[in-house]
Structure formats: C-alpha cells, structure tokens
Amino acid sequence: TFTGGSPGAFQGSFSYLLQDEDGQTIESHSISAGLDYPGVGPEHAWLRETGRAEYRPITDAEAMDAFGLLCRTEGIIPAIESAHAVAGALQLGVELGAGAIIVVNLSGRGDKDVETAAKWFGLLGPSER
C-alpha cells in the first residue's frame, strides 16, 4: 500500500490507501488474509514518514518462498504475514552482506495457514482443493 497508495481518509483515519482518483478505495490482494487491506495504519505511516521504519513490497511468491525456507531449514511454520517479513529480511541480508545481523519477529503462528500453503505448494490432491 505504501508503494501503490496515496494519502487519503479511510475508516476514520488519514493514512496511505489504495484508492482511485476520486478517493474510492480499490481492491487489494495478498495471499495473507491479514495483509489484504487497502490501507496502512496511521502508526506505520508515521514510522515511515519519520524514517524510523522501512517497508518493502513483497509478492505472494516471495513470501511463500520464505515460508517454505523457514519450514525446511528451521522447522518453524510462520504465519504468512510473518513470512512477508522473512522475505524482506532475506532481501536486506543480500544488500547488507555477510556478517550482518538482522532480527525478525515472527508474530503469528502458521498452523492457521497450513491449508493455504499446501494449496500454494501443490500438496493437496484434486479432491482437496
């Protein structure tokens, strides 16, 4: 929403929104239900504007690649929302190089996302899709 959004009012707050030229919200998409929203919370907008936080656009494919990587290498099933943060950390790690220390907070459990992940990775049979 930061990369494709613009300032506007939505649900009682002024922040960045996915909206058309008339200020009407436009549909958003994310494989993660928790991120499929046309607006950004005002706290996040403030953190970005003051330079205290950096936000990166992460595609569904990048998030699910990070989801799979964390499952395979650490045995951790992250929430898909958190997998977006892992994908961003992987990008940042490439930019910062070897020896960089990056902390990622996995704020959600992935057990609620197992079916979505199984569909994404093609692990369900035709009758289960």
Helix (H) or strand (E) holding 10: strand 6-10
User: pLDDT tens for residues 4-38?
Assistant: 678 888 888 888 887 888 887 877 777 776 666 67
Q: What percent of the chain has pLDDT over 90?
A: 52
CATH 3.40.50.1100 placement within the chain: 60-128
State the fold for domain 60-128: Rossmann fold (3.40.50)
Best-predicted range by mean pLDDT (24-38, 62-76, 104-118): 62-76
At 10, give phi and psi (nearest 5°).
-155, 130
Give CA angle at 120 (104, 65), nearest 5°: 35
H helices of the chain, in order, are 42-49, 60-74, 80-96, 114-120
Confidence category of residue 66, pLDDT binned at 50, 70, 90: very high
